[in-house]
Amino acid sequence: MAAEASETVCTKVTGHSVLVSWVSSVCQTARGYGVDPVPLLIASGLDARLLHIPDARYPVAGVRRLWDGLIQATGDPLFGLTVGKEIQAPALQGLGLAMISCGSLSDLMMIMVRYCKIISTTMNISFDHPPDLKGTKLVLRSDGGAEPMNSARLAVLAFIYRQACSLSQHLVRPLSVTLSLGVNSDAARLDDYFRVPVNLGCEKDSISFAYEDTIEPYAGANRQLMDINAAVVGRYLNRLNNMDIADRVDMLIREELQTGEPRLCTVADLLHLSPRTLQRRLREEGHSFNGLLDKARYEMAHDLLMHSDLSITEIGFRLGFSDLSNFIRACHRWFGCSPVKHRENSLLISV
């Protein structure tokens, strides 16, 4: 991951996002199923041209739609497992290079804990040291929902396990693997890959390794190379974390609109802030939560009225209006006319 290229792209990132090179690897896996991912990218609202810009980023909402489309197209509910088995570490740019040059499984896990948000800003990986476990547990979770079948988390767990075996140059057997997938999932396939009985229907997605496996030194370790790449990745992550709060709130509002009217307390919770702190930080940037919500609704209303054949009632519902009359009043404020008239005017302009 070149620092200069990363900086150029990061200035354009808004809201929660996913590294394009990760998505590119997901798409490459789909091709192995005989599925062309490009139409699914487009249908998910993602620009396929960005696949050639590894350090670029896609919005999380679009990537989650892509996962859904790929699972349906491949017919494989455990498509995420295959992604984790096949993705190559160098595809993750500096993050992958830091991983393959690390000195032990302990280093590998620490890199994933510190820098997992390079892959997705909604991803969280943390250590857990339960008293009854003679080893180390990694726990994965996602902010603001998850992909169908928790595909991204499953892919990351499978990827971490594969790197653990590859870098140690011998089979490493986990102490345990827990997944929040339903108990009707293909347990035998999961057991076969992780080489232990996988516990399904659990509260957390996790993988645990024995202490002796975590401290075993890797023959291919290169501390200098690991530190150089980790520094580059760290600078990239700092730029992601320093996004304007208004941009992050705007993205979350648009995601929340898919299920109902966004609430200040909900968005604040997703950002790990109190509602009062969120309001203060927005004021410091010259914004308000209600103003960002109104702006998002305005832009989405115009887009849906102009580019879709959805009914006025359904568009109002998609924008979080429980009462159609409130949507109509908002359209008069935004466009100076009713939603029906704005659609007619937009069609005349397009002709």
Comparison of pLDDT for 149 and 236, the residue scoring more: 149
| 299 — pLDDT class (breaks 50, 70, 90) | confident
Q: What whole-number distance in Å separates Cα of residue 41 and Cα of residue 297? A: 24
pLDDT digits (tens, 9 = 90+) for 179-200: 999 877 689 999 999 999 999 9
Kindly state the tokens that stand for 80. 């995420």
**Other C-beta atoms lying within 10 Å of the C-beta of residue 152:** 27
Q: What whole-number distance in Å separates Cα of residue 126 and Cα of residue 41? A: 31
CATH number (1.20.1250.20, 1.10.1240.10, 1.10.10.60, 3.90.79.10) of 245-350 reads 1.10.10.60
pLDDT digits (tens, 9 = 90+) for 312-350: 999 999 899 989 999 999 999 999 999 999 888 766 544
Closest CA to 78 of 208, 258, 198: 198
Comparison of pLDDT for 133 and 136, the residue scoring more: 136
Whether the per-residue pLDDT at 149 is higher than 70: the answer is yes
Q: How far is CA 344 from the centre of its chain?
A: 37
Which pLDDT value is given to residue 16?
81
- pTM value is 0.67
Per CATH, is 3-240 categorized as 2.40.50.220?
Answer: no
Which pLDDT value is given to residue 271?
78
Mean pLDDT over residues 154-173, rounded? Answer: 96
Whether the per-residue pLDDT at 302 is higher than 90: the answer is no
Comparison of pLDDT for 158 and 273, the residue scoring more: 158
Comparison of pLDDT for 284 and 4, the residue scoring more: 284
Which pLDDT value is given to residue 134?
80
Which pLDDT value is given to residue 347?
61
Say which residue the tokens 């609202």 belong to: 45
Kindly state the tokens that stand for 177. 């693997």
Which pLDDT value is given to residue 103?
92
Comparison of pLDDT for 30 and 5, the residue scoring more: 30
Which pLDDT value is given to residue 346?
64
Whether the per-residue pLDDT at 238 is higher than 80: the answer is no
Pick from 77-91, 230-244, 270-284, 298-312: least confident: 230-244
Whether the per-residue pLDDT at 1 is higher than 70: the answer is no
Closest CA to 287 of 331, 249, 252: 249
In the chain, domain spans: 3-240, 245-350
Whether the per-residue pLDDT at 8 is higher than 50: the answer is no
Pick from 41-45, 74-78, 162-166, 283-287: least confident: 283-287
Whether the per-residue pLDDT at 351 is higher than 50: the answer is no
CB 16 within 8 A of CB 248: yes
Mean pLDDT over residues 49-68, rounded? Answer: 89
Closest CA to 136 of 195, 164, 176, 84: 176
Whether the per-residue pLDDT at 7 is higher than 60: the answer is no
The amino acid sitting at 126 is S
Mean pLDDT over residues 258-270, rounded? Answer: 85
Closest CA to 190 of 26, 182, 137: 182
Closest CA to 79 of 154, 181, 139, 17: 154
Coil, strand or helix at 250: helix
Which pLDDT value is given to residue 322?
85
The β-bridge partners of 18 are 58, 120
Comparison of pLDDT for 90 and 131, the residue scoring more: 90
Q: According to DSSP H, which parts of the chain are helical? A: 3-10, 20-32, 37-43, 60-74, 79-86, 94-100, 105-115, 151-168, 187-194, 211-215, 223-241, 245-256, 264-270, 275-284, 289-307, 312-318, 324-335, 339-350
Query: CB-based burial of residue 135 (10 Å sphere; 0-12 exposed, 13-18 middle, 19+ buried)?
Result: middle
Which pLDDT value is given to residue 253?
87
